[in-house]
Amino acid sequence: MYSTKYGKTIKLFLMDADPDGRMVCELSNWNGKAYRIPRGKVKDCSDRHDLKGTSVYLLFGRAESSTSKPKAYIGEAENAYSRLVQHVSEKEFWNESVVFISKDENLNKAHIKYLESRLYEIASTAGRYDIQNGNTPTRSSISESDQAEMEEFIEYIKILINTMGFKVFEPLIKVESSSQEPDECFYVKGARGADGRGKRTSDGFVVFAGSQVAADTVPSFPKGFNALRDELIDNEIIIKKNETLVLASDYLFSSPSAAAAVIMGRSANGLIEWKNIQGKELKSVEESEISKANKSMQPTANASAD
């Protein structure tokens, strides 16, 4: 038995004819609907009848610094509009909200309590955002069939929220491409104890927890990377362990070069410094991948003759 993933069509409607304004998102063959509403536009939603029913929603706020996490709050409401109005008055951190409703009004109180609890659990496990909920949401008891429907609803929520740019439910390293797979890992070693292990992702380059960071930096170390290193130390993302500096948790860098520079304490070309288990440079690996992809697109001799 196997599963096949098919393409999805997402419809976006800019309610204010402005990409920075309110947005409605719908997914093909799904009875749900998502509203993306900036904080300053909540007041304009008083006439939206479907926002006055049961929903699950998220509030999003920006990260305070380059090494801190963005913020998110996950909640449920029997009247989404009224709840957002309340949050405008009571919660300062957020600047955007995303509300999920059912187009056929098939979500009841038990459903949204279940969704709230599960989304909180998934977001907390992913660890990408600083979750602002003061208490852990309680999970309602629903039937097995309703639970199956809600889990499917969650999968569609994850697709839409990710498409909007909020990777609140996405771990840095996906399960299907585990950090434990040596063939997908890259390694870097250098002076002063540098010994890192990481992986490419769609967002940048993740260096894994336990990677050893150079004990100090060279005089020519770029100021930008030096500031990033200092901030990682101040925020205890880089910690001292047995007289060695190590990463306390997986950390996403913007590029392989930024990752290599911080780990090695000097300027670094990440495409050359990071090497796989066979000793091939990242640059060479990526060039080989492109070459193979191009060859696979070329017609065979028999096909050309036909």
CA distance 274 to 290: 18
Q: pLDDT tens for residues 237-264?
A: 999 998 899 999 999 999 999 999 999 9
Q: pLDDT tens for residues 170-180?
A: 988 765 444 44
In the structure, what pLDDT confidence band is assigned to residue 22 with cuts at 50, 70 and 90?
very high
Phi, psi of 101 (to 5 degrees): -130, 170
pLDDT (0 to 100) of residue 106? 85
pLDDT (0 to 100) of residue 293? 81
The arithmetic mean of pLDDT across residues 90-98, rounded, is: 96
Output DSSP code: residue 65: S
Q: How far, rounded to the nearest angstrom, does the alpha carbon of residue 110 sit from its chain's CA centroid?
A: 27
Output DSSP code: residue 278: T
Write a three-state SS string for 233-254: HHCCCEEEECCEEEECCCEEEC
> Average model confidence (pLDDT) for the chain?
91
Asked whether 180 and 194 are in contact (CB, 8 A), the reply is: no
Using DSSP bridges, classify how beta strands 204-207 and 195-201 pair: parallel, antiparallel or unpaired: antiparallel
pLDDT (0 to 100) of residue 3? 47
> What single letter denotes the amino acid at residue 12?
L
In the structure, what pLDDT confidence band is assigned to residue 300 with cuts at 50, 70 and 90?
low
Asked whether 36 and 96 are in contact (CB, 8 A), the reply is: yes
pTM above 0.85, yes or no: no
CA distance 120 to 160: 16
Residues with Cβ within 8 Å of residue 162, at least 6 apart in sequence? 169, 170
